[in-house]
Amino acid sequence: MCDTMVALGLATRNGEVLFAKNSDRQPNEPHIMVRIPRKKHPAGEKVQCTYIEVEQSEITYEVFLLKPSWIWGCEMGSNEYGLNIGNEAVFTLEKYAKTGLTGMDMIRLALERCKNSLEALNFIVSLLEQYGQGGNCGYEKKFYYHNSFLIADLESAWVLETAGEYWAAERVKDVRSISNSLSIGNSFEKAHPRLVQHAIERKWCKSEHDFNFAQCYSDSLFTHFSGAKSRHTYSQSALEKNRGQIDINFMKSILRSHHPSLEGKQFRRSSLKSICMHAGGIIGDHTTGSYIASLSKEQCTYWLTGSSTPCISIFKPLWLVDYNKIPFKEEEFEKALAFWKRREQVFRMILRHQVPELPAYLEERDQLEEEWMQMAQAMEKGNHNEMIRIMENAWSQEEELVSRMLAENQFNTRRLKGSPLFRSYWRKR
């Protein structure tokens, strides 16, 4: 489960495009940060994706990926042109293929080969046609689904939603969010040539006049139990109500939000209705990584946690300049893994109620984030030396806070709270 959102320049406080996503996966599934440089490839080369090989491109662009550790592709990411893409699991009436490209593979391939949102949209559609989508995307247990995508560049954005080989695409006007449900109805700019006719043949609608993509193609049962309606309604409504005032802090607040029934209880209860998703009991999905991109022609700035559970995690600034410490190179897999796992220890401590001074920790976190935000805003755009200085300061301060949290609380009494089912779930993990 996931939630992805975008606000174009006319809807934001400073005129930049803001793109944000929470990646919800199995809680023990590491979500790592990887940066891969621009590369040239020999003619005829193939690239091994998660399950299948595809033709390699002559040139692949520099990319920054936030990805499940075991999957070739990524849940969200950016490239050297400021193109950003995130995907969602969606549940449809079309069959799920046992192999093919995962939605995450398609994101990485598009980021490596495309410069803008429309080019990426058309490219992902071509991948669907040539290779198809499919393959198990579950970590602890098998999980098959189709994909929707939110694709944004410095000026524009598109939503692409799929059901097997069928698809529809909608241009974003100002603000848009997607979740684990088809959301495009009967208004779209592009679509599979047989999208409507196929639905008529399957008797999902009677004619073109009563065709609605989401209503016709959705698996209503799985979609309902995904909690997508609650999350999508909240995020879309929040974006619409705050048009013209949306900024980084507002995007953070959405990514950190909980359903009203969970607020204050998130470390002893679970809910699929929260954008900051907490696992437990029969609910197996948890937010394992969070990301916000601020995109403009002058400068692209990224804010990321590199860790799970955004309600307690720390968003750090990142610029894709000549700096080799953060994020990690593809060959530095063990370092990337260790970074996520170390911060996961903080969450598990909080979950076990080992941190009596949690409000003080959160206050210090908020102060650090505000300091870094002010530094980033005051910085002369394009000043690479200043970018590196701010990053080194922010990421070292975050490491210091994480280390202090682990050291000060490691011997405190551990006590999981919540229902027996909730406690049993987390003991097993």
CA angle (327 as vertex; 2, 143 as ends), nearest 5: 30
Partnered with residue 162 across adjacent β-strands are: 167
Alpha-carbon distance 177 to 246, whole Å?
14
| Contact in structure between 287 and 310 (CB atoms under 8 Å) | yes
Alpha-carbon distance 368 to 356, whole Å?
20
Q: If phi over 0 gives left and psi between -120 and 50 gives alpha, with beta otherwise, what is residue 280? A: left
Structure tokens at 84: 């950003």
Using CB atoms within 10 Å of the CB of residue 8, give its burial: 0 to 12 exposed, 13 to 18 middle, 19+ buried: buried
| Contact in structure between 266 and 256 (CB atoms under 8 Å) | no
Structure tokens at 214: 């989401």
Q: Is 2 a catalytic residue?
A: yes
Alpha-carbon distance 105 to 111, whole Å?
10
Per-residue DSSP letter, 75? S
| Contact in structure between 110 and 74 (CB atoms under 8 Å) | no
Q: If phi over 0 gives left and psi between -120 and 50 gives alpha, with beta otherwise, what is residue 418? A: left
Alpha-carbon distance 58 to 39, whole Å?
8
Alpha-carbon distance values, 400 to 294, 337, 403, 414 (Å) = 26, 19, 5, 23
Partnered with residue 329 across adjacent β-strands are: 35
- Whether the CA torsion 265, 266, 270, 271 is positive or negative: it is positive
Partnered with residue 35 across adjacent β-strands are: 64, 329
Residue 220's Cβ-side half-sphere holds a number of Cα atoms within 13 Å equal to 4
Residue from 339, 348, 364 nearest 425 by CA: 348
SS3 429: coil
Catalytic residue (one of 2, 74, 216, 300): 2
CB atoms within 10 A of CB 339: 22
Residues forming the active site: 2
